Amino acid sequence: MDNVWRPSVTVAAVIERDGRFLLVEEETSHGLRLNNPAGHLEPGESPAEGCAREALEETTWHFKPTALLGIYMSRFIKKATGEDITYLRFAFTGELGRQDHSRQLDIGIVRTLWMTADEIRANADRLRSPLVLRCVDDFLAGVRMPMSAVYSDPSIYAPE
């Protein structure tokens, strides 16, 4: 039996424009929830690359991470199965590029929304994770770390 603990690694984009944050409304096993554009890191990509990919897939907006907001952990137990999951989230902020109107939102994403921090707080019961608001609060507090804080060895692209 494999007893090695493996957290689920995710990446998230905290995108602000004119005092509003870009969120997604997505289908979950607990109904519609609000989240930062976020998803699982895939093999062969750095956390920043995964963040840019997830932002585009979930919102149709191009996004370039320019700063690390933080590395966050949370734990969740699925009520239906009892599965115990720990999430390790790399959250970035950066530059919003153009919207690609030829793309469709990723499966499970119902729509995108631009919300103020107060609107996000008022919908705390609808957040997919407590990390959504924590990331927004860290953004508003001016937390920024250099991209070099997350090093990706070239072996992630071509393992020996």
Answer whether residue 106 is part of any domain: yes
Tokens of 96: 């919003």
* Domain containing residue 89: 8-148
Is position 157 within any domain?
A: no
pLDDT band at 135 (very low <50, low <70, confident <90, very high): very high
HSE, side-chain direction, 13 A CA sphere, residue 36: 31
Number of domains in the chain: 1
136: in domain: yes
Distances (CA, A) of 137 to 86, 117, 120, 127: 21, 8, 10, 14
Domain for residue 96, yes or no? yes
Angle at 101 (CA atoms; ends 98, 103), nearest 5 degrees: 105
d(CA 158, CA 57): 24
- Verdict on whether the full-model pTM lies above 0.85: yes
Choose between 132 and 76: higher pLDDT: 132
Residue 65 domain-assigned (yes or no): yes
d(CA 45, CA 60): 19
**Tens digit of each residue's pLDDT (9 = 90 or more) over 20-56:** 999 999 998 889 999 999 999 999 999 999 999 999 9
Interacting residues of 74 by C-beta distance below 8 A, sequence separation 6+: 86, 87, 89, 129, 130, 131
Is residue 1 in some structural domain?
no
Q: Output the six-digit token pair for 155.
A: 């072996």
Q: Which of 120, 141, 144, 138 is nearest to 35 (CA)?
A: 120
pLDDT above 70: percentage of residues in the chain? 99
- Is 3 a domain residue? no
pLDDT of the residue at 1? 55
Q: Check which CATH number belongs to the domain holding 34 and give it.
A: 3.90.79.10
46-91 residue pLDDT tens? 999 999 999 999 999 999 999 999 999 999 888 888 888 899 999 9
Structure tokens at 6: 């493996």
For residue 146, give the DSSP letter. Answer: -
